Structures are given as C-alpha cells and as structure tokens.
Homo-oligomer: A and B are copies of this chain.
Amino acid sequence: MDLKLTTGNSMPVQEGESILHALWRREIYLTASCGGKGTCGKCKVRLIEGKTDIHYYGKLTEADREKGLVLACSVFPRADVLVEIPEGSRLVVGQRIAVSGTTDLAEYLAPDKGIRPLVSSVDLTIPPPTLDDNISDMARLQRALDEAGIPDMRFSRDFTAYMGHALRDAGWDITLDYTDSDGAIFASPRGQKGRYGIAVDVGTTTVVVYLVDLADGKIVDMGLTYNSQMRWGDDVITRIVHATEGGGLEELRKAVVSDINSLINVLRKRHDIERNAVESASVSGNTTMSQLLWGLDPGTIREEPYIPTLNTYPLWRAQSARLKMNPLGPVYTLPSVASYVGGDIVSGVLASKMHRNPELALFMDIGTNGEIALGNNEWLVTAAASAGPCFEGSGIRHGMRATDGAIEKVKIDPVSYEPEVAVIGEAEPTGICGSGMIDAISDMFLTGILDQKGKFVEGLGTDRVIKGEESMEYVIHKNRGTAITLTEVDIENILRAKAAIYAGISLLVSEVGMSMTDIQRVYIAGGFGNYIDIERAVVLGMLPDLPVERFEFLGNTSVAGAYLTLLSDELRAEAEDIASKMTYIELSVSGRFMDEYMSAMFLPHTDLKRFPSVDKILRK
C-alpha cells in the first residue's frame, strides 16, 4: 500500500509501519523530538483519506483533531492513505541554504592559519598497568599528558566515569580531546574517529543546524526547522512574557532544545555519526533566544533599564544546554551586545567583514526584529528598530512566511491596476510574504492606488480596490475561496515597520555625524532579505536611497557566524572584539527617534529630498 502526500509524492508503507517511519525511509523528516514515542506531540499530519489504525492522539487538542490532525508516529495505515504535512511539522534536511551571498565561508577561514576548533586533540600511547606500575587510571593518563607537555588536565566526573573503559577498549592507544578551560572531553581509539561540530542559528522563527567536519571545515549537511517556541508567540516580547510565567521558561527552553536535537539526531543518523563524535557547537541567536536556549530568565530584558543576564558567554558544556551531542563538548555562544542586539548581529558583522574594512558600511537584519549596525574597521554602532514580525507574515491578514504558496513578487499595471504575481513553488497562492508586500505597496503608491500617507485613493474605478470589513483593501489574487488582499490596516502595520527600520538607520547615521550618502555598502541579512527588490524597498522608504550596486544580500549570516566561530579561534576572538567594540544606542529612549519615526511613516518619507530617485519617478 502507498502513502501519498498532497504535494504529489508517493511512497510505499508497510503493514504495521507508522506514517512517521514511512516518511523517514524517504528522508522526509518531521519534527519529532521524542523520537516517535508519541509523547512530544509534534509530528502532526493531516489525514485526508484512507483507512488507518490510530493508536493514540497524545497531546493533540480538540481543535487539532477537528482539523483532521493526527500524530504521524501513532497512525498505522491499513490501505492507501493521503496525507498533508503542515508547514510547521517538517524538518528540512540536506537542502543547502546559500550561506552567504558573496562570502565563501571556507575561503574566509585564513588558509594559512588552518582550522582551530573549540576542542584540541592529542595522541597518546600509554603503557598499560602492571603490578609494578599500578597507579590509578587517572594518574596514568595524567602522566602521559605530562610527557606530552600538557600538565594539569581537568577531569570531570562524567569523563572519569567512562575513562577506564575507553582507555582499555582503545588498548591504551588513544586520541584525547580536551579544552583548556574544561579539560578532558573524549578519549577514542587513536585515528579511528571523525570529529564533528555543529553550527546553530537559533532564530525567533527558524532554527538552522549545520553539521561540520572539523578535520576540513566542510559543511557535511544542514537542517532547518521552525522554532517550536512559536506556539507561545511570534516575537521575542511575547516569548519573554511567557518565560516569566510559571514554568514558561522551561517550556521555551525545552521547545528550542528539542528542535535543535531533532536536527542533530537526523543529521547524525543520516551520516552514521556517533553522538560522542559531535564534540563542539557554536550557537548564534538574538539575546533572548540565546538566554532561552540556556534556560536563563529573560525577564529583565523587557523592563527598563533592559538588562540581559549576560552578553559574553562562558564556554559551557553541551550537557548544560541538554544538547544531544557529546555531553562534555564545549558550546560557544556568540556574544550579545545588549538586550536587543544579540549574537546573531555580531555574527552578521563578522560574516560581512565590515569590521575589517575602512569603508562605511551598514548591516541590516530584517528578520523578526530589525537590527542594524553601522561602522567600519575603527568603530561600530548598533541599534534595534523593533520592526516587529510583519514581514514574516504576522499581523498581516493574508501574510505568511516565504514558503510554498506565498506571493513573493507583485507588479501592478499603472493603467488597469491589475496585478501580476509570482508565487513560491508555483502553487496556488495561499498568502503574501514580505517581499510581496514591499512590491505591492510600492507599486500601489507609484500607480496612485495609495497616497503618500498609505491611504487608499478613492474613485479609481477598479474592482481591485474594495471595501472590506474593517477598511479598504486591494485584491492581489482572486482565489477559488477567499481572495488574497492587502488592507489599509495591513499597510499601516507595514509602514510602521519600515518607518522603524528607516528611522533607526537615520538616527545611527546622524549620531556619528555622517549622512546616508556616506554609506558605501549595505549588507542585508536574513532569509527574507534575499528576496527583496531593492528599488521597491527604496520606494517604500524602508531602505536608504542609494545606488543599487551598494546593496549586497548575505543570506543567513547568523549561522554563518556560528560556522566561522566553530572552526577558528581567531574568528572567535574577532567576534568577541566586535561585540565589545559595538556601541549600542537605545532608540526607545531617544526623543529624536520618535521624530524620525513619525517622518518615516509616509511613502517613502515626508522629506522627499532624502529619496531623490523616488522623487524623480514621481515627477515623471
């Protein structure tokens, strides 16, 4: 019998086999942090047709069950079945994301310096114990280390507990992995083992894991999943609020740790790597995400004077983070700058190399939040613009993330007002994503559908503009069911977000006594950033009006920074240096920010002199 997916895929399923297992065999991985035991309740699929045995519903709610949702691990087909995999249930593995637009990460690592991972290794041939040489295992190992010029090794209880067996299993001929700060990590038979690390981007929306071979720095494979913390809110603020409520912190921690562990498990199994061989990790995330990963209450981040528990992280062990890798392996956490400028931005600056170059550069991460950094090899300033998650689809009636079914490009005919759209995955459109919103609003403005304040102009005589329930709407796509529209309320939300970003840039630039046109290079990071049409974003007034060639898309620079720091102690030192060098400017307490923000609430801005290229188009 067959398991069919609504995407058209089909695969055989055996008698007594769960849907989860049948998918696994085809390397279609679902989020299932419990490993398919039915306890985590994450591997939800929608059962559309077919006879099945459903063993249990686990944590599914009444509402879930009404939608036809079941747990893939607990449903055993009895005949052909048709199943839909909801977006949030899927782990993406092996689909290599563009790490960086122009930077080849492997090239970035100075080839003459070689790879210097978090963990050091030493080969030891140890004389086995005899009655005449009957010192303890630990003293024997330390004696061999002394002879190798490595005195005073630290031995944790956990290492000590398995050391005796490891030494004997290896015939006393071992490779010992260790760190300077925490001591012995892993003893393996000499030369028999690959050594791996993971680079992790803990985004507010997505979690990305790279599996990296520490011998050559190659990215072996990668995996991506949604951050399961999303069930408690789309943005960092709602997560912080949840964290401060009874048990919430632990729930949030478990959610994101199990996301990372799901990815690690799948990557390990796929490449047949034992748990202990994954022996180091580097993690990049915003300040709140990093604190939640480590189980640190982020409550004070949200309240004046906005204090994180820590910015610079000690090298803690994987077991403290509960990551399913070598429990004694060190985890490097990219340093944060302040409560709203985290390790992901330090990663971005590191990956952009702007901290090494004399030209003035602007770095922007337009993700769930909107962080910006400005500077060069001498100085760096940074701020967080609180753009909110609307470009990720949140708070927009038909908004969605940039996945299959999202309208990603929109072009509006200036005469007929009819739109032309491009949809991700060439599917029937189900919503509109950030780049589509930017296209649509800028064209609505240029074609006269919207005025400079973002309000609908009346009497255009087109049925594309309709009166909706709460405000006027522009119909982008007439679906079989409900239409996909942008409402005046949606547009106001988007204007608020773009105004916050632009005002942030503007304030940073003026704080350092420069002007927008001094910016020689604009680096745009974030998954969403890749799809932006720069010129349309300038018309919207989100990006400064600079020549297009000064803009560069860098992709996911957060995971890039994690990757780089996983492999190089020099780049770890550079990351620490970037974080300590960055001057954080708190926008929310600046009166001038409010002025800048209000001026930017227009299309593209109240002051058209700041947008000469848009002014030129409008004059035409």
Instruction: Judge whether A160 is part of the interface by a CB distance below 8 angstroms.
Output: yes
Tell me if B129 and A311 are in contact (CB < 8 A): no
Chain B min CB distance to A288 (Å): 13
Contact of A309 among B130, B138, B297, B308 (CB under 8 A): B138
Stretch with Cβ within 8 A of B (4 or more), from A20-28, A151-159, A484-492:
A151-159
Please encode chain A, from 202 to 238, with 1 for each CB lying within 8 Å of some chain B CB and 0 for all others: 0000000000000000000000000000000000000
Tell me if A305 and B131 are in contact (CB < 8 A): yes
A residues within 8 Å of B by Cβ?
Answer: 129-131, 134-139, 154-158, 160-161, 163-165, 294-297, 299-300, 304-312, 314, 316, 320-321, 336, 338-339, 586, 589
Q: State A516–B320 Cα separation when bound (angstroms).
A: 56
Which residues from chain B contact A304 at a C-beta distance below 8 Å? 131
Tell me if B589 and A310 are in contact (CB < 8 A): no
Tell me if B320 and A136 are in contact (CB < 8 A): no
Which residues from chain B contact A589 at a C-beta distance below 8 Å? 131
Query: Chain B CB within 10 Å — which of A136, A137, A314 has the most?
Result: A136
Which residues from chain B contact A321 at a C-beta distance below 8 Å? 157
Nearest B residue (CB) for A316: B157
Q: State A138–B304 Cα separation when bound (angstroms).
A: 17
Tell me if A297 and B136 are in contact (CB < 8 A): no
Which residues from chain B contact A137 at a C-beta distance below 8 Å? 300, 307-310
Which residues from chain B contact A311 at a C-beta distance below 8 Å? 135-136, 138-139
Which residues from chain B contact A160 at a C-beta distance below 8 Å? 294, 296, 309-310, 314
Chain B min CB distance to A69 (Å): 35
Q: State A155–B315 Cα separation when bound (angstroms).
A: 10
Which residues from chain B contact A312 at a C-beta distance below 8 Å? 136, 138-139
Contact of A297 among B129, B134, B154, B164 (CB under 8 A): B164
Q: Can you report 10 residue pairs joining A to B where beta carbons are below 8 Å apart?
A: A131-B589, A134-B305, A134-B586, A136-B310, A137-B300, A156-B320, A157-B321, A163-B309, A164-B309, A165-B297
Provided the pairs A137-B310, A295-B157, A320-B158 are in contact, do residues A131 and B586 lie with their beta carbons within 8 angstroms?
yes
Nearest B residue (CB) for A304: B131
Chain B min CB distance to A152 (Å): 11
Tell me if B164 and A296 are in contact (CB < 8 A): yes
Chain B min CB distance to A71 (Å): 30
Other A-B pairs beyond A135-B311, A157-B296, A160-B294, 4, CB < 8 Å: A129-B307, A131-B305, A136-B312, A157-B295
Chain B min CB distance to A571 (Å): 22
Tell me if A134 and B310 are in contact (CB < 8 A): no
Which residues from chain B contact A294 at a C-beta distance below 8 Å? 157, 160-161
Tell me if A307 and B156 are in contact (CB < 8 A): no
Q: State A314–B336 Cα separation when bound (angstroms).
A: 33
Chain B min CB distance to A577 (Å): 16
Q: Which A-B residue pairs are the 3 nearest by beta carbons?
A: A138-B310, A157-B320, A131-B305
Chain B min CB distance to A614 (Å): 36
Q: State A138–B135 Cα separation when bound (angstroms).
A: 42
Chain B min CB distance to A199 (Å): 20
Q: State A320–B160 Cα separation when bound (angstroms).
A: 11
Q: State A312–B137 Cα separation when bound (angstroms).
A: 11
Contact of A129 among B131, B164, B305, B314 (CB under 8 A): B305
Q: State A139–B579 Cα separation when bound (angstroms).
A: 13
Q: State A586–B134 Cα separation when bound (angstroms).
A: 10
Q: State A338–B135 Cα separation when bound (angstroms).
A: 8
Chain B min CB distance to A274 (Å): 20
Which residues from chain B contact A586 at a C-beta distance below 8 Å? 131, 134
Q: State A134–B310 Cα separation when bound (angstroms).
A: 11
Chain B min CB distance to A413 (Å): 51
Provided the pairs A164-B300, A296-B161 are in contact, do residues A338 and B134 lie with their beta carbons within 8 angstroms?
yes
